[in-house]
Amino acid sequence: KQTIDQIAAGEVVERPASVIKELTENAIDAGATAVTIEIRDGGTTFMRITDNGAGIPADQVKKAFLRHATSKIRKAEDLVNIASLGFRGEALSSISAVAQVECITKTPEALTGIRYCIEGGVEKEYEEIGAPGGTTFIIRNLFFNTPARAKFLKAPVTEGNHVSSFVEELALSHPEISFKFIQNGQNKLYTSGNGNLKEIVYQIFGRDLTRELVAVDARTELMHVHGFIGNPNVARGNRTFENYFINGRYVKNKVIAKAIEDAYHGFLMQHKYPFTLLYLDIVSEKVDVNVHPQKLEVRISDQEGVYHQLCLTIQNALMNRER
Ligand code: ADP
Ligand code: MG
């Protein structure tokens, strides 16, 4: 059983950033309005995710760490769904199979919370304790019992950068949730969760950029585009500041990148890339979102239409901006 969990873990848990992804998704699913993420050594030795969500009822805590793949296969079409969704329902079991996990959780109704420790799939402690409403997961020594996998971890700085980029995406995806990110004891990111996008850009990327932002908002039958684009004066040397979401998902997409860059053509020097934070909501018939455990793909079927509308919208915004 432990071996099977360790194998399953390979699909879900590749590196600290994938643990952070799974656990923050759970926090959001639990209705959290504030999430704190803390890591040390790039997350390899220590990760702590605290949320103020619904908590796990005492009698459900141990069950939450069991694999429930089979319970999800009821009919033939579920098999197809499971294949496309990857290993859903396996995050906690997978993570606890390859790390030392401590979970402290309390529902609003419960008088006391539960502290549950499980290491390499082996239960260590289960006790009632005082706790605030919500859930905290502490993950220590990722891959402590699977040295073959530990070898594939990069240097702590690199792993930390993966976590850090993921937390930025997360904060941009959920302006209504307050995120705090602490790395090696230092506060790295804080968003207030008040839903104000411009303020979040300022909180994440700094004030220089914020002053230069141009608002964008255009709607057609094909899609709604809104967000902010950077003034050409504050262009960057690489594409990492081209942020965009397609139907709520933070992705990279060649068609979108080309539309952005072509729109800026003539406004920018060569080899310079703009800052963008764009939310594209494309009618569902025109996109195909494929979710695998480790990669996210969005295929746009009406590439021409999306390209032209986005290009035009950005060009209009650039030409009409206040100088
Ligand atoms: P899934 O999210 O696909 O259900 P997971 O293994 O990620 O599977 O989590 C198992 C279960 O544990 C969840 O369905 C949920 O009931 C519970 N859970 C996990 N994390 C939290 C959290 N932060 N707050 C409340 N419940 C949680
Ligand atoms: Mg989950």
Q: Which of the listed residues 20, 29, 51 should we mutate to test ligand 1's pocket, taking the one with most ligand atoms within 8 A of CB?
A: 29
Mean pLDDT of 266-280: 89
Number of H helices, E strands in the chain: 11, 15
- Which two three-digit tokens encode residue 151? 């070898």
pLDDT for 69 equals 38
Judged by its nearest atom, the ligand closest to the C-alpha of residue 114 is: 1
Q: Please check the confidence at residue 58 and state whether its pLDDT lies above 60.
A: yes
Q: Which atom of ligand 1 is nearest to the CA of 54?
A: 25
26 in contact with ligand 1, CB cutoff 6 A = yes
CA 88 to ligand 2 centroid distance, Å: 7
Q: What is the DSSP string of 244-307?
A: EEETTEE---HHHHHHHHHHHBTTB-TT-B--EEEEEEE-GGGEEEEE-SS-EEEEES-HHHHH
Q: Please check the confidence at residue 77 and state whether its pLDDT lies above 60.
A: no
Per-residue pLDDT band for 138 (boundaries 50, 70, 90) equals: very high
Residue 75 belongs to a domain = yes
- Do 173 and 213 lie in one domain? The reply is no
CB 286 within 8 A of CB 302: yes
Per-residue pLDDT band for 292 (boundaries 50, 70, 90) equals: low
Instruction: Please give the Cα distance from 96 to 143 (Å, whole number).
Output: 10
- Do 218 and 90 lie in one domain? The reply is no
Residue 199 belongs to a domain = no
- Do 21 and 152 lie in one domain? The reply is yes
Residue 239 belongs to a domain = yes
Q: Please check the confidence at residue 125 and state whether its pLDDT lies above 80.
A: yes
In the chain, the number of structural domains is 2
- Do 149 and 110 lie in one domain? The reply is yes
Listed residues: CB within 5 A of ion ligand 2: 26, 91
- Do 40 and 186 lie in one domain? The reply is yes
CB 209 within 8 A of CB 275: yes
For residue 222, what are the CA distances in angstroms to 95, 218, 304?
41, 11, 11
For residue 269, what are the CA distances in angstroms to 10, 235, 253, 264?
44, 9, 22, 9
CB 106 within 8 A of CB 114: yes
Judged by its nearest atom, the ligand closest to the C-alpha of residue 68 is: 1
64 in contact with ligand 1, CB cutoff 6 A = yes
For residue 232, what are the CA distances in angstroms to 102, 110, 265, 283, 318?
48, 54, 10, 30, 9
Mean pLDDT over each residue of the chain, to the nearest integer: 88
Instruction: Report the CATH number that the domain containing residue 8 is assigned in CATH.
Output: 3.30.565.10
Number of residues that this document lists for the chain: 323
Q: What is the DSSP letter of 69?
A: T
Q: Please check the confidence at residue 40 and state whether its pLDDT lies above 80.
A: yes
Domain end marker among 137, 157, 190: 190
Is this complex's ipTM strictly greater than 0.95? yes
pLDDT for 72 equals 33
For residue 94, what are the CA distances in angstroms to 6, 179, 240?
7, 25, 31
Q: What is the DSSP string of 95-162?
A: HHHSSEEEEEEE-SS-SSEEEEEEETTEEEEEEEE---SEEEEEEESTTTT-HHHHTT---HHHHHHH
Mean pLDDT of 143-168: 95
Instruction: Please give the Cα distance from 35 to 19 (Å, whole number).
Output: 15
End-to-end CA distance of the chain: 65
pLDDT for 71 equals 34
pLDDT for 84 equals 38
CA 294 to ligand 2 centroid distance, Å: 14
Mean pLDDT of 39-66: 96
- Do 142 and 25 lie in one domain? The reply is yes
Contacts of 231 (CB under 8 A, 6+ apart): 212, 213, 214, 321
Residue 260 belongs to a domain = yes
For 206-265, the pLDDT digits (tens) are 877 766 789 999 999 999 999 999 988 877 788 888 999 998 888 889 999 999 999 998
Torsion angle of C-alpha atoms 188, 19, 66, 6, degrees rounded to 10: -150
- Do 156 and 58 lie in one domain? The reply is yes
Tell me which residue has tokens 């419960």: 110
Kindly state the percentage of the chain with pLDDT values over 70: 89
- Do 141 and 179 lie in one domain? The reply is yes
Judged by its nearest atom, the ligand closest to the C-alpha of residue 5 is: 1
Written as one letter, the residue type at 233 is N
Whole domain around residue 176: which residue ranges?
2-190
Residue 297 belongs to a domain = yes
- Do 6 and 121 lie in one domain? The reply is yes
Q: Please check the confidence at residue 293 and state whether its pLDDT lies above 60.
A: no
5 in contact with ligand 1, CB cutoff 6 A = no
22 in contact with ligand 1, CB cutoff 6 A = yes
The residue among 85 and 164 whose pLDDT is bigger is: 164
For residue 10, what are the CA distances in angstroms to 138, 164, 248?
20, 22, 27
- Do 141 and 227 lie in one domain? The reply is no
CB 234 within 8 A of CB 208: yes
171 in contact with ligand 1, CB cutoff 6 A = no
- Do 36 and 171 lie in one domain? The reply is yes
Q: Which of the listed residues 26, 59, 102, 103 should we mutate to test ligand 1's pocket, taking the one with most ligand atoms within 8 A of CB?
A: 26
Residue 138 belongs to a domain = yes
Label the pairing between strands 34-40 and 113-119: unpaired
Instruction: Report the CATH number that the domain containing residue 215 is assigned in CATH.
Output: 3.30.230.10
56 in contact with ligand 1, CB cutoff 6 A = yes
Best CA proximity match to 232, nearest among 318, 316, 313? 318
Residue 37 belongs to a domain = yes
The residue among 34 and 239 whose pLDDT is bigger is: 34
- Do 126 and 158 lie in one domain? The reply is yes
Residue whose CA lies nearest to ligand 1 atom number 7 = 91
